[in-house]
Amino acid sequence: MSTLCTLTDRFLLLRPNSLFLLGLFALVLSFAGPRAHAQESALAKEELACLRCHDKVGPGKTLESGEVLSLAISTNAYVDSMHKDTSCEDCHDDIDAKTHGKTITPIKSKRDFALGMRESCRTCHAKNFTQYDDSVHAAMIKDGNKEAPLCSDCHNAHTVRSTKTAGPIAATACANCHEDIFKAYAKDVHGLARVANGKTAPICADCHKSHGVLAASLGNGIKDACLTCHEDSINQHKEWLPNAGRHFEAISCPVCHAPTAQRRVNLRLYDNVAMKQVSEKTGVPQFEKLTLAADAKDMGLDERALWSLLKEFNQEGSEGKTVLRGRLEVSSGIEAHQLSEKSKAIKDCNVCHQKGAEPFQSVSLTIAGPDGRPIRHGVQKDVLTSLLATESVRGFYAIGSTRIKLLDYLLLVVMLGAITVPVGHMTIKRLFKGMRDKLEAEKKAARAPAEGQDSTPHRRADDDTSK
């Protein structure tokens, strides 16, 4: 019925003189009567006044950009929407009844119009708005990015239905912009389980939140979200994986659960005092400048370059403040959404604990950008091993013992940022001092022995877990 209505409306607009169509219209009206009446009584007369002009598919309004802004608002959809009791003017408070529709108000582009409307949701949905304000999406909007979503990109104000019911997965707003990730998700364990069993399995917003979306690799990544549903995961992994908690901290879940993914080491700049990732300050891009200076040929930072870079971040008085924390990740956002059933997950220790293991062949250094997304610079993979050569490091960790070498290297990478673990009396500061000493000693080709190696051989009790 409603389709017929809009169809006739359209015909009327196109060919208003056609007697045949007028006849048809009259016929349709006689059917549409009761429904139209019900709608009218559901809306206040102010809304009906607006809709009298706007519930029509007209030519639309041509904007300065050349785009055409459709002016059609469906009365049916509005009545069925969660905003049926909301007045048009609650959101469109700049409509001047005297001139509206009679004179042309210039509008630059669709995006400009949407941006101009963006504050209109704040008064009634303050909670969602505050969460959104802190999101990576809002940060990008503030930065002038036109691709990032506003409220109205994820919700149509005129047709919004309850978000409580789970629709088909493809209806999620996220899919409009993150198409490749959506396609991967749709085929992975969760996408398939969501289609089969509904809301028990997660969709985008269950792992990333809907409004307070943060950069995915920030902090623990999405780990905490996984553990809200898979509560017993740590215990289940413990059955075969020694120190599962430590593995969970150093490895992003998809590294093992997306078995075909490429993997890489992310050396994150970490602030040991504030206990969080170092982030680039808005307007003062330091990281790119420093990495380019330290790696003029763009070959990837070598040991020396990485060291001098860390020194820049640890100026006088703040030595040891900025450290590196290693983390294993998958190489792309698509791969992070190719999780398989558990039987395919990586269980073989040798995938990682072996000389030349694949995950350690690609290394990058990152800082959190102003919106939280990582800014990267390549690092030569030898850095992972050459750092270890530093004499002073031996002081607090017994190399060799019964473990294979690579494990030592791994431990070192994490040790550099291991602030949750007491490292005896050997502080991070001394670690850096040791590295500095070593580099300087190298420079002068000096043979003087580095710092004593008599200190704490074990950093904690379970350290000598042998393989």
Applying the rule CB under 6 A, the residues between 377 and 436 that interact with ligand HEC are 407, 410-411, 414
- Work out which of 349, 399, 439, 450 binds ligand HEC, going by CB under 6 A: 349
In 48-77, which positions are buried (b, 16+ CB within 10 angstroms) versus exposed (e)?
Answer: bebbeebbbeeeeeebeeeeeeeeebbbbb
Torsion of CA 307, 309, 311, 312, to 10 degrees: 170
Q: How far is the CB of 308 from ligand HEC (least distance, A)?
A: 25
Given a contact cutoff of 8 angstroms between Cβ atoms, the answer to whether 152 and 112 are in contact is no
- Work out which of 4, 32, 57, 173 binds ligand HEC, going by CB under 6 A: 173
Q: Which stretch binds ligand HEC (CB under 6 A): 30-38, 45-53, 283-291, 390-398?
A: 45-53
243 in contact with ligand HEC (CB under 6 A): yes
- Reading the block at residue 463, the tokens are 């350290």
Q: Which is nearer to ligand HEC, 149 or 395 (CB)?
A: 149
Give the largest Cα separation in the chain, rounded. Answer: 104
Q: Which is nearer to ligand HEC, 340 or 380 (CB)?
A: 340
148 in contact with ligand HEC (CB under 6 A): yes
* Contact characters 84-113, ligand HEC, x per CB under 6 A: -xx-xxxxx--x----xx--xx-------x
447 in contact with ligand HEC (CB under 6 A): no
- Work out which of 139, 181, 323, 388 binds ligand HEC, going by CB under 6 A: 181
Q: Which stretch binds ligand HEC (CB under 6 A): 10-18, 79-87, 280-288, 433-441?
A: 79-87
Could you give phi then psi for residue 428, rounded to 5 degrees?
-55, -35
Q: How far is the CB of 313 from ligand HEC (least distance, A)?
A: 22
Q: How far is the CB of 368 from ligand HEC (least distance, A)?
A: 10
Q: Find all residues with CB under 8 Å of 319, minimum gap 6, and list them.
A: 429, 432, 433
Q: Which is nearer to ligand HEC, 51 or 428 (CB)?
A: 51
Q: Which residue has the tokens 């704490």?
A: 456
Given a contact cutoff of 8 angstroms between Cβ atoms, the answer to whether 210 and 196 are in contact is no
177 in contact with ligand HEC (CB under 6 A): yes
Among residue numbers 221 through 240, which ones bind ligand HEC (CB under 6 A)?
Answer: 221-223, 225-226, 228-230, 233, 236-237, 240
Q: What distance in Å separates the CA atoms of residue 395 and residue 427, rounded to the nearest whole number?
A: 10
Name the DSSP class of 285. -
Q: How far is the CB of 307 from ligand HEC (least distance, A)?
A: 21
Long-range contacts at 190-199 (CB < 8 A, ≥ 24 apart): 190/339, 191/337, 194/166, 194/169, 195/169, 198/166, 199/166
How many Cα atoms within 13 Å fall on the side-chain side of residue 362? 12
Please provide the distance, in angstroms rounded to a whole number, between the alpha carbons at the two ends of the chain.
72
Could you give phi then psi for residue 169, rounded to 5 degrees?
-60, -35
47 in contact with ligand HEC (CB under 6 A): yes
- Work out which of 25, 39, 50, 307 binds ligand HEC, going by CB under 6 A: 50
Name the DSSP class of 320. T
373 in contact with ligand HEC (CB under 6 A): yes
Q: What distance in Å separates the CA atoms of residue 173 and residue 132, rounded to the nearest whole number?
A: 15
Number of residues that bind ligand HEC (CB under 6 A): 132
Residue of 217, 216, 369 whose CA lies nearest to 283? 369
Q: How far is the CB of 259 from ligand HEC (least distance, A)?
A: 9
126 in contact with ligand HEC (CB under 6 A): no
208 in contact with ligand HEC (CB under 6 A): yes
- Work out which of 280, 295, 303, 329 binds ligand HEC, going by CB under 6 A: 329
Q: Which is nearer to ligand HEC, 105 or 282 (CB)?
A: 105
Q: Which amino acid is at 277?
A: Q
- Work out which of 79, 139, 251, 431 binds ligand HEC, going by CB under 6 A: 251
Q: How far is the CB of 283 from ligand HEC (least distance, A)?
A: 19
Q: Which residue has the tokens 């940022």?
A: 417
